[in-house]
Each structure stands twice: as C-alpha cells, then as structure tokens.
Amino acid sequence: MMGVMARLPRLNLPNIPQHVVQRGNNRQICFFSDQDCAVFLDKLKEYSRRYNVAVHSFVLMTNHVHLLVTPSNETGVSQLIQTLSSYYVRYINNTYARTGTLWEGRYKSTLVDSENYFLVVSRYIELNPVRAGMVNHPSEYPWSSFRRNALGIPTEIITPHDCYQNLGKNFKARYLAYQALFEHHIPEQTMEEIHESINKAWVLGSKRFKQQVETQTGRRANPLVKGGDRKSAKFRNQLL
C-alpha cells in the first residue's frame, strides 16, 4: 500500500544491552495489585533464564514496563518478551475475568552503548516512579531493581553487568558506588536521547558505537538529517 512506512527491523546483537519498553494498550493499566507485579517478576526470572537473557535493571509501572537486558543470542529478547507477555495476558484475563489484549502491539527496544550509556539508562529506569510523582526516592518503590542495585538487597532476577561490577572491588563497594550516582541529575539532553532512542528505535550510543552497529546489521542507527535543518547548530554538530 502506498503511503505506509515500513517498520524498521529490530536491532538484535548478541551480548549488546537493550533498553526494552512494553506499554499497556492505549496506556491502560497492566498491574492492578502487588500480586500481579510479583507474578510478572517471577515469570521474568523464569523466562530470562530459559532464553539466556541477563536482566540488569527493571521497573514495573502502572501501565508499562522498562527493562535493561543483555541477550546471549539474536532471538533471546524477542522470545523472552513474547513468552512473558503472552503468559501475563492469560494470567490477567483469568484473574480479573476479562478478555482481549493487554499490551500495545509491539514492544519497543534499542541497543545501548554500554561504555557510555549503560549506567545512565539503568538510573533512568529506576527513577521512573520518582518522575511519575509516585514516590520521593527510588528506594521507596518496591517494584524496581533499585533496592538490589543500590541497596544490596538480594534478588535472583538480576545479573550484574560488567559496567556495574567495575564500580567496586566487592558487592558492598559496588552498590554504594551505584547509590552515589543518584546524587546527580541526568542531564536533560541525555534524557531526550534516551526518549528518542526508545520511541524511534534508534541506537543509543556514541558515533563510533553507532557506526559499528550499522556495519554489523546493515541498518541505519540514526535518522537521516532533514535538509531544512542544515543551518542549525544541531546539524553542524552532527557533522563534527
């Protein structure tokens, strides 16, 4: 059909972190009780192991989910999300005597440059409840990875990434160092980069990282610069 833009193919590379977002259909509620959250996380643990996907950070919001994960193969993330989403829809429909879909059509994902963006994306995910005005501090929210990553409270769901492991020589040093990162605000420009990358399926990373992804996948990692923006500072900076 004319006028219909083709969807960009997903970017899936083994051992490269991905920021994944799954939203409720029409932004509707997905988690109605603490029990629902507990069921979702239990299955996240089960299926992430089944498909060899390491989970580093997560947050369950009222109507959407954020994950920071690393697959060991190209199909791991899609298999994890599809299986987990299908199970959870059946659980919700059975529990609340409802029918129909629960999730938005396609989950969103983007590759993350671990060297430059991994820790900031992890913070971004765990700060969601604060930005939403649900709590004053991420430690007050029970359905995120903050308590494990920043307070050292054990959970079997999380597999620490090398970027996290490199924060300190032992477990306590690492979670205290991670905790200290939250004393600083994420720059507005970085927030915009994270938003755009996940919403438009562009790669989140340095120019070098994006070039490497393009070489490996044969797919553009950045949007084309529009001709009308050629005199803008942003356009000039992209040429540097």
Instruction: Provide the pLDDT for residue 229.
Output: 47
Write out the residue range of the structural domain in which residue 156 sits: 18-215
| Contact partners, residue 123, CB within 8 Å, separation at least 6 | 181, 182, 186
Whether 184 is in a domain gets the answer yes
Q: Report the chain's C-alpha Rg in angstroms.
A: 18
First-to-final CA distance of the chain: 39
Whether 86 is in a domain gets the answer yes
- Statement: residue 235 has pLDDT above 60: no
Count up the domains in the chain and report the number. Answer: 1
Whether 236 is in a domain gets the answer no
CA dist 61 and 174 (Å) reads 26
CA dist 190 and 60 (Å) reads 22
Instruction: Provide the pLDDT for residue 152.
Output: 96
Instruction: Provide the pLDDT for residue 211.
Output: 93
Whether 239 is in a domain gets the answer no
Instruction: Provide the pLDDT for residue 225.
Output: 62
| Contact partners, residue 184, CB within 8 Å, separation at least 6 | none
pLDDT confidence tier of residue 113, bands split at 50, 70 and 90 = very high
Residues 171-187, mean pLDDT to the nearest whole number = 97
Q: Are 144 and 129 in contact (CB under 8 A)?
A: yes
For 18-28, write each residue's pLDDT tens digit. 999 999 998 89
pLDDT confidence tier of residue 221, bands split at 50, 70 and 90 = confident
Q: What is the CATH number of the domain that holds 151?
A: 3.30.70.1290
Instruction: Provide the pLDDT for residue 230.
Output: 46
Whether 177 is in a domain gets the answer yes
| Contact partners, residue 48, CB within 8 Å, separation at least 6 | 54, 55, 69, 80, 157
- Helix, coil or strand: residue 165: helix
Helix residue ranges per DSSP H, the chain:
34-50, 76-96, 114-126, 128-131, 146-149, 162-165, 171-181, 188-200, 207-217, 233-239
Whether 230 is in a domain gets the answer no
Residue 171: other Cβ atoms inside 10 A: 12
Instruction: Provide the pLDDT for residue 226.
Output: 57
Q: What is the mean pLDDT of the chain?
A: 90
Residues 158-187, mean pLDDT to the nearest whole number = 97
Whether 148 is in a domain gets the answer yes
**Long-range contacts of range 24-29, CB-CB < 8 Å, 24 or more positions apart?**
24/63, 24/64, 24/102, 24/103, 24/104, 25/101, 25/102, 25/103, 25/104, 26/104, 27/63, 27/64, 28/63, 28/102, 29/62, 29/63
Q: How far is CA 160 from CA 119, 208, 233, in A?
A: 11, 25, 39
Residues 35-57, mean pLDDT to the nearest whole number = 98
- Statement: residue 10 has pLDDT above 90: no
Whether 144 is in a domain gets the answer yes
Residues 89-110, mean pLDDT to the nearest whole number = 94
pLDDT confidence tier of residue 106, bands split at 50, 70 and 90 = confident
Residues 157-168, mean pLDDT to the nearest whole number = 97
Residues 151-178, mean pLDDT to the nearest whole number = 97
